Structures are given as C-alpha cells and as structure tokens.
C-alpha cells in the first residue's frame, strides 16, 4: 500500500491511497473460507460448497467491503500520523471507468485544511467591561415590592386604582375559564380602568382583550392561554369579581429587616438599601460577564483574518447534507455557518495554545459548586462532601449534563483568559443604561 499527498495550496490537498492485491488477498480469502464452511446452498452439503461457487456468489461483495475497510483505516492513520488538521471529512474524488475486476486500486480524496493564523485580541479600541449597579429608583422599587410581599391584604368594598382584584375571566368560545388575581396598575387604557374603579364583589365586567394589558405576558397569565394564542387576540371576555383587597405595605422596621436578611444583619433603611445594592451588583455580574464574552468574541472575529477552503467546504456540505442540496443552497448553508466555524477555530487555538482544556477533576469540582449553590437556595448551606460527591456522580453520568456543564466551565475559563489578555476599559452604569447601551 502506498499513500501520497499533493499539496494544491495552503488550504487544499489531495491524498491518494494505492492498494495492491497483496494488501487484501489474505483477508478476503480467509472470509470466503469461513463463508464456505457455513454456506447453505441447495444441492451441496454444508461445508462442501465448491470455492469457485462461493467466490462467484460472494467474492465481489467481500472484496469491496474489505478494500473499503482497509482504505478507511489507512486514511485515518495517515491523517493522524501526519498531523493534518482537516475541516469536514475527506471527500472521495469521482473516478471514471473505475473497475473492481482489476487487482490494484487507487483512490483519491480531497482535503480541506485548517488555516494557520495568529489571533488578534485587541483592536483599535479597548472593549468595555461593564460594572452594573442598581440605581436608587430600582432599589426604591425593590423595597416597595418587598414591602408588598410581606404586607397585608385588607378587604375593600369597592375597588380603587391601587387595589388587587381577584375574579374569573370567561369566554366560552375560546374555552377560557380562569380564576386569577390582577393589580389595576397592569390594566391599560382609561376606559378599561374606569370599569374596575368603583366596582364591587359580584360585579361582572365585560372587556375586550385587545389593549387590555400593557404586556402580552400579563394577558397570558390572566387568561391562562398559550403565547401564540395571545398575540393579536381580540375577543370579548367577562370578568366576575370575587374579591377586592388593598395592599398594606409592611413597615420598614427591624421585624421587616430580619425577615429578609436574618436577625440584626440589617438595622436601618440605609443599611437595607446598601445590602440590596450589593445583592443586585452580584446578580448583575453574570450579565456583565456574558456581554464581555460576546463583545470579545465579535472583536476577535473582526480582527483575526484568515482564509478558509470555501469551495471545498461548500462541496462537503452538498455531499454530506441530510437533504439533497443544489450548489447555490450549499453555498448559502456555508455562508450561514462560516462565522461559527471561524470562531470554533479561534477558540480551539486559544484553548490549545494556553492549556485551557477542561479536566475531569475540574468538571467534578465545578459541578459540586453548582450543586452547592442550588442547595443553598433551599436552605441547605452546609451539605457534606459525600452527598455532593454522590449527586455530582449521578449528574456526570448523563452525557447531556456533562456537555452542558463543560460548556459553562469552558466559558468561565475563556472569560478569565480574556480578562487577563484583552485590552479592557471599565464602565459603571445603571441596569437601565446597560440595557439601552447594549441593546440600542
């Protein structure tokens, strides 16, 4: 057997595998002998079928199968030994007048090669790393929301704009019959609000769903319908009031502080605001870091230039797609995936060059930290190590979970690497300003 490579250019090559008769004869003969021992052919006793008949019936199929196995093994071994970094898979070149009745065979494969490149982490401008802080308005709203949560409901005879109203929405045609509680600040439109203000328990209010709530999600919750059904919904519903309550806010006293943070952790409104700001800042870190990952990814993609074997990859997509594609469709699919492929190559190089690979021990420790965080949310702040080990072992026995957790850990590693190696500028913003700036 002989394997040779013709380098067409930096990104394309052709590998030719020559297979001679002596490479496969012994294997094919051995298989045909086994066939002869077990063949059931009418007119012959088992094990006494003439070899000529066995070859005539099975010889070509066995030959083709064994040569293909030999070919794939040889090609894979060659790519590994030569350390050829290929994109996609080798594509067999079409051969005119190929003849299986000859003794020697030659097979040619097109290769698309990964490009060599240097990563450019920094462009002309430093990348913004946001520090998101809670505004005074956000903290005031959070305090009021928490006061409502720990406050009291005072029954009312008639409804006012500040009240909470319970009742049932009904529309027989759409099979809507949902008991719910709404706050009148969610009702949209002066005419709709006027129907509620002054109403009493037992009153029946007729409403149009279009423009009833400012947010589709509020409509979905109120009517208990699917999101697709809520979009553009314009029907008449009746709402029967069963209860009217005024929300009395909890007092901003020590009892309230203790309910939220534990005994004597917070002792004043000023300390409460500061604690809420700290908690909010910790929650915002994840959003800030994710945005940094997104921005660095875009910057690296923009500044790291290299060519790809586009023609080969389009041909490969056309040849390996689940559905038959035209050349134009294959080109379109390639263009859709090109950006993702470029970043896969960049990310792979970063990981390899900087030894950022995820080890099993790191994965297990990371899984245990995730488990501890989840348990803490349910009040289990000090789980023993054996319990964590057992839970982690169960999770890591699931390949889907391993993939998901590995991606999370790799994102953390990449984030840490970027923070150390990319030119950044820190900018402190409120959450609202962050949303406006990032999603402008």
One domain, residues 61 and 161:
no
Task: Kindly state whether residues 425 and 331 are assigned to the same domain.
Answer: yes
Whether 172 and 39 map to the same domain: the answer is: no
| Residue 9 within any structural domain of the chain | yes
Do 232 and 289 fall within a single domain? Answer: no
Distance CA 58, CA 64 (A): 10
**286 and 411 inside one domain:** yes
Q: Assess whether 405 and 280 both reside in one domain.
A: yes
Mark whether 175 and 222 lie in a shared domain. Answer: yes
Q: Angle at CA 80, nearest 5°, toward 77 and 82?
A: 105
For residue 56, give the CATH number of its domain. Answer: 3.30.70.1050
- Residue 424 shares a structural domain with residue 342: yes
Cβ pair 430, 130 in contact under 8 A:
no
Q: How many CB atoms lie within 10 A of CB 205?
A: 16
**Domain end marker among 113, 142, 172:** 113
What does the pLDDT read at residue 301? 93
Q: Do 336 and 287 sit in the same domain of this protein? A: yes
Asked if the structure places residue 372 within a domain, the reply is yes
Cα distance between residue 119 and residue 116, in whole Å: 10
Ranges in the chain, pLDDT < 50? none
Residues 6+ apart with CB under 8 A from 314: 327, 330, 331, 334
- Kindly report, residue by residue over 138-171, the tens digit of the pLDDT: 999 999 989 988 999 899 999 998 899 999 999 9
CATH of the domain at 196: 3.10.50.30
**Full 3-state SS string of 301-333:** HHHCCCCCCHHHHHHHHHHHCCCCCCHHHHHHH
Quick check: 116 and 10 in contact, CB under 8 A? yes
Give CA separation, 169 vs 39, 139, 203, 239, 318, in Å.
75, 34, 12, 5, 54
pLDDT at 122: 86
Residue 405 lies in a domain: yes
Q: Do 192 and 327 lie in a common domain?
A: no
- Total domains in the chain come to 3
pLDDT at 35: 79
> Is residue 258 assigned to a domain?
no
Query: Is residue 428 situated within a structural domain?
Result: yes
Q: Which residue range forms the structural domain that includes residue 208?
A: 152-248
Domain boundary among 87, 113, 139: 113
60 inside domain? yes
420 part of a folded domain: yes
Is residue 290 situated within a structural domain? yes
Give the residue carrying structure tokens 């002066």.
Answer: 190
Q: Do 283 and 198 share a structural domain? A: no
pTM above 0.85, yes or no: no
d(CA 153, CA 183): 12
Domain boundary among 248, 278, 293: 248
Q: Are residues 207 and 285 in the same domain?
A: no
Q: Which CATH number belongs to the domain containing residue 303 in this structure?
A: 1.10.3120
């Amino acid at each position: 057997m002989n394997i040779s490579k013709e380098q067409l250019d930096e990104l394309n090559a052709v590998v030719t595998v020559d297979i001679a008769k002596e490479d496969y004869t012994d294997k094919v003969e051995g298989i045909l002998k086994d066939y002869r021992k077990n063949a059931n052919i009418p007119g012959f006793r088992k094990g006494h079928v003439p070899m000529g008949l066995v070859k005539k019936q099975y010889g070509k199929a066995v030959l083709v199968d064994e040569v293909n196995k030999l070919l794939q093994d040889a090609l894979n071994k060659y790519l590994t030994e030569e350390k050829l970094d290929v994109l996609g898979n080798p594509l067999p070149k079409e051969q005119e007048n190929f003849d299986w009745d000859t003794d020697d065979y030659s097979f040619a494969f097109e290769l698309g090669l990964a490009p060599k490149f240097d990563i450019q982490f920094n462009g002309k401008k430093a990348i913004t790393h946001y520090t998101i802080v809670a505004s005074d308005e956000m903290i005031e709203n959070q305090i009021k929301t928490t006061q409502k949560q720990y406050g009291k409901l005072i029954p009312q005879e008639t409804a006012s704009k500040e009240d909470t109203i319970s009742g049932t929405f009904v529309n027989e045609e759409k099979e809507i019959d949902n008991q719910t509680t709404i706050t009148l600040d969610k009702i949209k439109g002066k005419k709709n609000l006027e129907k509620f203000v002054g109403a009493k328990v037992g009153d029946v209010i007729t409403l149009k769903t279009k423009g009833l709530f400012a947010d589709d999600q509020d409509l979905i919750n109120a009517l208990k319908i699917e999101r697709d059904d809520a979009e553009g919904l314009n029907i008449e519903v009746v709402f029967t009031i069963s209860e009217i309550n005024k929300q009395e806010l909890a007092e901003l006293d020590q009892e309230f502080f203790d309910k939220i943070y534990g005994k004597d952790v917070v002792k004043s409104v000023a300390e409460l605001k500061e604690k809420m700001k700290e908690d909010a800042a910790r929650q915002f870190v994840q959003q800030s870091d994710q945005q940094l990952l997104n921005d660095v990814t875009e910057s690296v993609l923009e500044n790291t230039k290299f060519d790809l074997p586009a023609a080969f990859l389009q041909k490969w997509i056309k040849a390996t797609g689940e559905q038959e594609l035209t050349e134009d469709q294959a080109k379109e699919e390639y263009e859709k995936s090109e950006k993702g492929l470029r970043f896969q190559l960049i990310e792979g190089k970063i990981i390899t060059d900087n030894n950022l690979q995820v080890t099993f021990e790191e994965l297990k420790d990371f899984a245990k930290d995730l488990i501890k965080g989840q348990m803490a949310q349910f009040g289990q702040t000090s789980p023993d190590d054996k319990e964590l080990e057992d839970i982690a072992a169960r999770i890591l026995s699931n390949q889907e979970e391993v993939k998901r957790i590995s991606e999370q850990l790799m994102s953390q590693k990449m984030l840490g690497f970027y923070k150390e190696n990319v030119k950044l500028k820190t900018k402190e913003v409120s959450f609202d300003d962050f949303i406006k700036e990032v999603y402008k």
